[in-house]
Structure 1
Amino acid sequence: MQELGRLEDLPEDYRAALTAQNLVPLWPSLRAVLPPGKPIPRTKPTCWPYQTLRPLLIQAGELTPIEKAERRVLVLANPGHGLEKMQASATIYLGMQLLLPGEWAPAHRHTPNAVRMIVEGEGAYTTVDGEKCLMCRGDLILTPTGLWHEHGHDGDKPVVWLDVLDLPMVYYMEASYVTEGKAQAVTPESADRAYQRGGVVPSPVFTRASQPYPMLRYPWVEVRAALQALAASQPDIEAVQVAYVNPETGADCQKILGFSALMLRPGERLALPARSSAMVFHQIEGCAAVSLDGHQFSLGEADTCCIPGYTPLTLSNSAADQPAFIFIADDAPLQKKLGVYEVRH
């Protein structure tokens, strides 16, 4: 590929004249923004072990009352982007959030989309748009853009969940903001019960819900059962994986980030081709090894890691007698809308 001219090759007075008019020559930086062959990601392969993170999160609960924090979160920041950027990848924000017994995180709504993957504890809940969503380990709860949500805890032990937001993307577009609110009135309906089984919809006459997100809570007990049924009914399937989707449309449950759950059968080794989207893996049950060029992470329960895009990798379950269950987040929905998503075999 042809070598391009450098900025320092230009006369100093010419560069100063450009700067005075807020102009920049493209050619010295062209290869940085359009590298040959594939992107050069800033996202670095990074792992956050829960057993080392958890004591610091519990200590945060001792040091900072909920009234001083609003949301008591430790951000899982990727060093490739700089810790101050508070992002796991170019489009994904991750945070471990703690709620202690009796606490209430006040209602607000914001433009970034969020989901909560429950990590440990019982007795807490998130109220989203008036729907009270109970929190159990492995449950996925949506808090889509613009919907009021608050967190409460009626139990007696700490509750922790993983926040996954498209905050970096929304912030980059200069569209990120929050609105504070008051406690919500709770409605008696629970959409996760109405849409528990695919192909079964509310009767007698099915009409689409008035809201764009008809299902907010995806119980882990149901998702786990779906994975086990898929593995049993299709023993030769390459990957035992299910997606979290809108039960009325079949589309991704949110518009920017996509979410799925993967079951690794006992002793299974699964090779994944390079995909353009960065991926987050969070271990719900069991343990797994994530291997990629120059890196290997051993994931135990509640561990989380992030892998950059355009990176082939291998997932392995070393246990011979039990499956491993992994929650996956990526920005494939956004990339597909933009026409830049690709898989390289």
Structure 2
Amino acid sequence: MSQQLGTLEDLPEDYRTAMTEAGVAPLWPMMRNVLPHDAPNPVTKSGHWAFDAVRPLLMRAGELTPVEKAERRVLVLSDPGRGTGAMQATSSIYLGMQLLLPGESAPAHKHTPSAARIIVEGTGGYTVVDGEKLPMEEGDLVLTPGGDWHDHGHDGSDPVIWLDALDLPLFVYLEGSYAIEGELQAQRNRPDASEVEYRAAGLAPSRRLDSSVRRYPMMRYPWVKTEAALRQMAKYGDDGIAELDYINPETGQDVLPTMGFTAMMLNAGQIDSPPLRSASAAFHVVRGRGTSVVNGQTIHWGPKDTFTAPVFADITHTAEEESFLVRVHDRPLQDKLGYYEERAK
């Protein structure tokens, strides 16, 4: 097939006018825009948000805007390829940095997109999801799946900051994004499921024949357990690189329908050069320092920073010191659509 397709300008002006009046357009001049050969041509560009730069702006937001006026006090991390203000960090992932001050509460609501929080700083914050109170400690992953009631509160003494990750762009594109407000939830008088039913990996509550399991049985993944598992894996792994996927403890599937989360550990001086993946990704640094080269762009990252990579990005991570990261990605969505792919470099 010819690589050079006809252009709109090749067509007579009267024909172009007639098509416009009829509300139609020729495919062939636009085909390569939507179906490029061999690999996608992403709009997304790699972004880097240094926590040292974002934190002062977030704290100033706390001074300028009470939570009652914001509902959710968030600074959006916008994809450089789409420009400041874009509600996308990659094509399918929204990221925002959220602040809750001592004594504040963010009202209850539920919405069609699914969300997850990676706790960045502070203690005393919590999220209530369908009545289950989830403590928010640094590095924890806390889920608020689509359709589940959730609100946030803070009974500590210092600011709490977390990174929001949502599949919001998908729902906006599908014109299915909306929220419903409600009253603050009554909290169950017991620890969350990560401390009771799913306290140890490989163990789940015994079920009777007529018993049912919640679709999202575990909403909080404590970092202290994740780090311990990563250290053990790195100690005995073949290549020293430790990666663990967050999963639903009842099904073994990804924790959310369209977003996956992978915890990573790199030892000082260690280099990780993953294959080219069709999934886009965001990397949040829980702890550590290093450098990542994403499609030739060098990113020097430190504790609590966040950076992104578009689809099929050529990525190389180099840790300057022992480092822990969480990778947020859209592989679960691509798996469901049947097109996730990895290519060797």
TM-score by length of structure 2 reads 0.96
Aligned to 2:214: 211
Aligned to 2:141: 140
> Once the 2 structures are TM-superposed, how far is the Cα of residue 128 of structure 1 from its aligned partner?
0.5
* 3-state SS of 1:28 partner: coil
Q: 2:78–2:88: 8 Å Cα contact kept in structure 1?
A: yes
Q: Does 1:231 align with 2:230?
A: no
| Cα displacement string for residues 251-286 of structure 1 (whole angstroms, at most 9, x for unaligned residues) | 000010100100002221111111111111100011
Could you tell me how far apart the structure 1 residues matched to 2:117 and 2:210 are?
Answer: 28
Output the amino acid matched with 2:336: K
Aligned to 2:38: 37
Could you tell me how far apart the structure 2 residues matched to 1:53 and 1:18 are?
Answer: 49
Q: 1:117–1:139: 8 Å Cα contact kept in structure 2?
A: yes
Q: 1:277–1:330: 8 Å Cα contact kept in structure 2?
A: yes
Worse overlay, 116-125 or 199-208: 199-208
| Structure 2 CA distance for partners of 1:3 and 1:203, relative to 1, 3 Å | closer
Could you tell me how far apart the structure 2 residues matched to 1:325 and 1:343 are?
Answer: 23
Could you tell me how far apart the structure 2 residues matched to 1:104 and 1:314 are?
Answer: 40
Output the amino acid matched with 2:203: V
Output the amino acid matched with 1:246: N
Aligned to 2:19: 18
* 3-state SS of 1:27 partner: coil
Could you tell me how far apart the structure 1 residues matched to 2:207 and 2:78 are?
Answer: 48
Aligned to 1:253: 255
> Once the 2 structures are TM-superposed, how far is the Cα of residue 176 of structure 1 from its aligned partner?
0.5
Could you tell me how far apart the structure 2 residues matched to 1:208 and 1:42 are?
Answer: 47
Could you tell me how far apart the structure 2 residues matched to 1:83 and 1:304 are?
Answer: 16
Question: Which structure 2 residues correspond to residues 134-213 of structure 1 after superposition, within 5 A?
Answer: 134-189=135-190, 190-193=192-195, 194-203=197-206, 209-213=212-216
Output the amino acid matched with 1:293: N
| Structure 2 CA distance for partners of 1:50 and 1:72, relative to 1, 3 Å | same
| Cα displacement string for residues 285-337 of structure 1 (whole angstroms, at most 9, x for unaligned residues) | 11121113321111111100001111121111122xxx210010010010111
| Cα displacement string for residues 69-122 of structure 1 (whole angstroms, at most 9, x for unaligned residues) | 000000000121233331101100000000011111000000000000000001
Q: 1:196–1:222: 8 Å Cα contact kept in structure 2?
A: no
| Cα displacement string for residues 175-231 of structure 1 (whole angstroms, at most 9, x for unaligned residues) | 100000011111134211121222222248698653200000000000001101111
Could you tell me how far apart the structure 2 residues matched to 1:84 and 1:8 are?
Answer: 34
RMSD after superposition: 1.4
Aligned to 1:272: 274
Aligned to 1:28: 29
Q: 2:76–2:85: 8 Å Cα contact kept in structure 1?
A: no
* 3-state SS of 1:306 partner: strand
Aligned to 1:330: 329
* 3-state SS of 2:14 partner: helix
Could you tell me how far apart the structure 1 residues matched to 2:297 and 2:41 are?
Answer: 17
Could you tell me how far apart the structure 2 residues matched to 1:325 and 1:252 are?
Answer: 20
Aligned to 2:66: 65
Could you tell me how far apart the structure 2 residues matched to 1:208 and 1:278 are?
Answer: 38
Could you tell me how far apart the structure 2 residues matched to 1:66 and 1:270 are?
Answer: 41
Worse overlay, 108-117 or 304-313: 304-313
Worse overlay, 188-197 or 97-106: 188-197
Could you tell me how far apart the structure 2 residues matched to 1:244 and 1:96 are?
Answer: 21
| Cα displacement string for residues 14-34 of structure 1 (whole angstroms, at most 9, x for unaligned residues) | 112111221111000011111
* 3-state SS of 1:83 partner: coil
Could you tell me how far apart the structure 2 residues matched to 1:66 and 1:292 are?
Answer: 36
Could you tell me how far apart the structure 2 residues matched to 1:291 and 1:241 are?
Answer: 19
Aligned to 2:124: 123
| Structure 2 CA distance for partners of 1:204 and 1:148, relative to 1, 3 Å | closer
Aligned to 1:342: 341
TM-score by length of structure 1 reads 0.96
Output the amino acid matched with 2:141: L
Q: 1:87–1:93: 8 Å Cα contact kept in structure 2?
A: yes
Identity of aligned residues (%): 50
| Cα displacement string for residues 224-254 of structure 1 (whole angstroms, at most 9, x for unaligned residues) | 01101111232x1463000110000000000
* 3-state SS of 2:273 partner: strand
Aligned to 2:298: 296
Q: 1:81–1:89: 8 Å Cα contact kept in structure 2?
A: no
Q: 2:285–2:303: 8 Å Cα contact kept in structure 1?
A: yes
Q: Which runs of 5+ in 1 are unaligned?
A: none
* 3-state SS of 1:85 partner: coil
Q: Which runs of 5+ in 2 are unaligned?
A: none
> Once the 2 structures are TM-superposed, how far is the Cα of residue 12 of structure 1 from its aligned partner?
1.8
Aligned to 2:223: 220
